[in-house]
A and B are shown apart, each in its own frame.
Chain A
Amino acid sequence: MSYVGKILVVLQVVLSVLFMTFAGAVYAIHSNWNGKYTAVQTQLNDATQQIKVAQEELETAKTDFNTNLKNETERANRFQAEKLTLEARVATLEGQNNTVEQQRDTEKGLAQAKAAEARFRQEEAERRRIENDKLQVQLDTISGENRSLKDQIISKNADYDELIAKHNELLEQSAYLERIVAAYSLPTNPREVAKLSAPAPPVEGLVRTVKRDKTNRVKFVELTIGSDDGLLVGHSMDVVHIPSNGGNGAEWLGKVKVVSVNPDSAVAEVILAAKNGIIQEGDNVTTKL
């Protein structure tokens, strides 16, 4: 190989190496504009899509906003009306509040009075509790006395039963004696007996009728006075004949004893007759002699 050929070979090697270096550098360093274009186009499409979606959302939001605005406007009007109503109600409630405050003041005064009364009642309760304790002590004492009195009552009841038995026995005796007294036509009323023992009242009357016995002597006389005038069975009276001309020739005719009385009449038995006179209708009877 000639000298020039050798130089050309060397030069070819050098240039080939430079070519390889530059081609590698271009491949390694050079930007890929096609890839960037595709990426940017993709980003643009995405951005466009997002803008479209955003516009739709904007329209939706605008519609919603208009709807909400309308609703809120209606709501504001309604609230305005409610505000007026509430203001009127507030005015009414303020009036009621004033009334209630007055009532509260009144009730407060009453409550204070009640509290004072409650304190007084509490103090009274304390005093009554103390008195109650004292009364409890007295009650215990009285209970003891009550027990002793009950014992006495039991013993007295026994005595009472005994007295009842004795009383019944006496009643039987009294009934028996009353039958005996009735058999002899004697009064059993203590008042009548007391009147019998008392003197006859000062009364005067007339002989209404006379009844004679078999010997034609006056046996019974009917008088014009009775129990209303104070006569009782057993009273004695004198029979006197007073002349009709009112002279001084009054004549004692006898003594009679009342055997039966009525309110306005009585029957008497002649127990002592005068020898010089005969009892007749119209003669006077008296207890004043």
Chain B
Amino acid sequence: MSRQNSEDPTPDVYVALLFISVAALTTGCIFLALELNSYGWQFN
């Protein structure tokens, strides 16, 4: 554990890609939530 804290890898491009992915997923969830909100959260 202490070894890991002392050896934190340096964020690279893949970490940035993961952040982009998180942002894209969040945005998509917001769009879908808004869509359901327009129907009053009724599914049938």
Contacts and interface: CB of A to CB of B under 8 A. Distances in A.
Interface residues of A, number: 21
Interface stretch (A15-23, A171-179, A197-205, A251-259): A15-23
Contact of A26 (B25, B30, B31): B31
- Secondary structure of the B side of the interface? helix
Contact of B17 (A10, A27, A33): A10
B27 A13 contact: no
Nearest to A32: B38
B35 A16 contact: no
B31 A20 contact: yes
Interface string A1-36: 100011001101100110110111011001011110
A16 B28 contact: yes
Contacts, number: 60
Interface string B24-43: 11011111101100111000
Nearest to A22: B28
Contacts of A24: 27-28, 31
A58 to B, nearest CB: 39
A20 B30 CA distance: 9
The 9 residue pairs across chains A and B that have the minimum distance between CB atoms: A23-B31, A23-B28, A16-B24, A16-B21, A20-B24, A27-B31, A20-B28, A19-B28, A13-B17
5 contacts: A24-B27, A24-B28, A26-B35, A27-B34, A34-B40
Interface of B: 14, 17-18, 20-22, 24-25, 27-32, 34-35, 38-40
